[in-house]
Amino acid sequence: MDEKPGTLPGLPILSDVPLEKDRLLAEFSRLIGDRILFGAEVNPEILKKSESGAKFLLRDPPAPSKLLALWGSLFENRISPIRLLEVLGPTIHGFGHRESTLLFARDRLVYDTRITHGSEQIGEMTLYFRTEFERGEGLLGLFRGRTLKIVFIENISLREQSSGYASALFRYYEELFGRIGYHQFRLKASLSVGKYYWAKEGFDCLDESGVARMRKRLMELIRSKKLPIREWEVERLNHAYDVAKFRRDLKITVYRDTEGYYALERDSEHMEEFLLPVGKAFLLVSDPWDGYKVIYTDTPRRTGFIYSERYLSHKTPQGHVESPKRLEALLKAVDRDGLRDSLVFLKPYSADPESLAEVHDTDYLESFRNAAANGAGYFESRDCSISPESYEVALLAAGGVMAGVDAVMNRRVENVFCAIRPPGHHATRNAAMGFCFINNVAVGAAYARAAYGVERIFILDWDVHHGNGTQDLFAEDPLTYFCSFHEHPTFCFPGTGRRMERGTGAGQGYTLNIPLRPHAGDSELIELFDREAVPEIDRFRPDLIMISAGFDAHSDYPIADIDLSEKSYEHMTRRICEAADRHCGGRIVSVLEGGYHRPAFTSSVIAHLKSLQGRS
């Protein structure tokens, strides 16, 4: 079969209903007769005793009942063995599979093949299909767990590594395995090129200690080479992908041997010299690492979700509406609605001093740090309650938005929701107010410009309270368009955000405030959004869209007087996604602001997340 590179064949992959057992047994029998289907032993101890050096030992095929049992657990009998062999062996860029076999081991199915280019064998590949039980959290973890279906790339080797075949095959397989119900890729990144390639393709270390070891060794390399890289730049790397993309502007010399393996120093074997970006060079010379990648298949768009339990460490007094319980309720709702498996969970990092200085005065930040460290109960105004960890948590919140910018700019995800606290859109350059200390969305916008050269940024704020801090920070900036929907300032905190406020100086005309009358509902909001906001996005043609996503304009929120429902958040999100597709490759960074009636808050965020994923 020769399809367009990296695409699946047009015919359906899975049957709508389980196939009859007689058909499966007939195909098993045919493959056994053609010497394509065997039993196999993959137990490492048995292989070691055999002294064969093989990856597995061939055995007679298992009994028909065992063939059916394993096939049913792996594929629910919705694909036939012959069809599986067909879709596992596409012809891509002139490369194909030959001498392919299906091997039935005790707890897994093995696909083993030779990779050919024309008539020449240029590599081999072995895949394992198996299931694994993932225990849930807490004392009842055994009852809350789930069964994962995993594809393990045990081995892939190619003599022609620059053909683009591996990349195209991987993307083809990612779609294929998602369609047949698999949740994860796993692999051992043992090949020299593979150690970089798999990281670039989004594979991560199996546990956090693997990434921690990467950071430590990368820092050792930086020091040995005396590279102009600060330690906080390395500390923010939370994923092997981040390492692969690290400091592409700075290159170092590495040396390659005839087999394609790299070293930092020239020796008798590593003679060919290359100048490569730091992150790529580091991975190419690093030790092998085990990795995995979640396969996200049930949503049209990949949506990231930034979160850390450390956000709960910003404590507020009993009864304060901006409490850790907001995020606790949201995480429970994400699990309850089954979104955990489809969202790409991403870790934040702490914002660095240089990024913060783009938005806030250093004296203001130092005052905030001292207030938290000295045990003050609030900072600057009594509504801005703090605890000893509030300053560090606020840095992590701003860094969460920066991590979200990284994710969309590096294409790990199409869009991202930053489930962070404390919120930020009321914070000005040198003042805290309205529960806000650091203007998170402003820090993210400044970082997008500094790190990725993003020019035109559209910020949409739909919190019921006007984002006065964000407006003030960008009032004179013609490259940052600030648009806000909020309750009319005559009736609602902070009393700013009138129609006449359109920006100042060079930024005149790049602020649009759309105040809503008390008790405005879905129909009024949707009409205004489509008539005023969407045309302005199209006129501005942004390179990145950011959302200050507050959910306190819901009708159930008792303090404000706007009567929106989840319908409005779903509609605005869908329209923003359409505009992002038109202008900036779908890149959206949504940042949590307000939302304090917990049931309304969680249901509204869930509607927003599903719309970001393209589900609505």
> Which amino acid belongs to residue 70?
L
Q: Helix crossing, 325-336 with 598-612: angle to 10°?
A: 50
586 and 538, same structural domain?
A: yes
Contact yes or no for 13/179 (Cβ under 8 A): yes
Provide the 10 A C-beta neighbour count for residue 134: 13
218 and 127, same structural domain?
A: no
174 and 213, same structural domain?
A: no
Structure tokens belonging to residue 97: 């599979």
SS3 label, residue 207: coil
Instruction: Point out the catalytic residue in the list 97, 360, 426, 554.
Output: 426
Digit-coded pLDDT (tens) for 275-287: 999 999 999 998 8
162 and 307, same structural domain?
A: no
Structure tokens belonging to residue 569: 């958040």
Provide the 10 A C-beta neighbour count for residue 150: 20
Provide the 10 A C-beta neighbour count for residue 387: 16
Q: 241, 258, 287: which is the final residue of a domain?
A: 287
Q: 244, 260, 287: which is the final residue of a domain?
A: 287
The tally of domains found in the chain comes to 3
**Residue 450 belongs to some domain of the structure:** yes
Q: Domain holding 573: CATH number?
A: 3.40.800.20
326 and 449, same structural domain?
A: yes
Alpha-carbon dihedral 81, 84, 86, 89, rounded to 10 degrees: -130
Instruction: Give the residues of the chain that fall short of pLDDT 50.
Output: 1-6, 46-52, 137-144
Per-residue pLDDT at 141: 44
- Is 488 one of the annotated active-site residues of the chain? no
**Residue 367 belongs to some domain of the structure:** no
**Residue 390 belongs to some domain of the structure:** no
Could you tell me which residues come within 8 angstroms of residue 582 by beta carbon, excluding any fewer than 6 positions away?
538
231 and 165, same structural domain?
A: no
124 and 63, same structural domain?
A: yes
232 and 171, same structural domain?
A: no
335 and 278, same structural domain?
A: no
143 and 262, same structural domain?
A: no
Residues 233 and 474: their CA atoms lie apart, in Å, by: 26
**Residue 441 belongs to some domain of the structure:** yes
Q: 239, 263, 287: which is the final residue of a domain?
A: 287
Distance (Å) of CA 333 to CA 339, 601, 603: 9, 10, 8
333 and 415, same structural domain?
A: yes
**Residue 164 belongs to some domain of the structure:** yes
Residues 191 and 540: their CA atoms lie apart, in Å, by: 46
Provide the 10 A C-beta neighbour count for residue 57: 17
327 and 263, same structural domain?
A: no
DSSP 390-416: HHHHHHHHHHHHHHHHHHHHTTS-SEE
**Residue 383 belongs to some domain of the structure:** no
Residues 324 and 596: their CA atoms lie apart, in Å, by: 11
**Residue 166 belongs to some domain of the structure:** yes
> Which ranges of 118-183 does DSSP label H, i.e. alpha helix?
141-144, 165-179
Q: Domain containing 241: what range?
A: 209-287
**Residue 499 belongs to some domain of the structure:** yes
- State the DSSP H helix or E strand holding residue 33, giving kind and residue range, or none if neither: helix 21-33
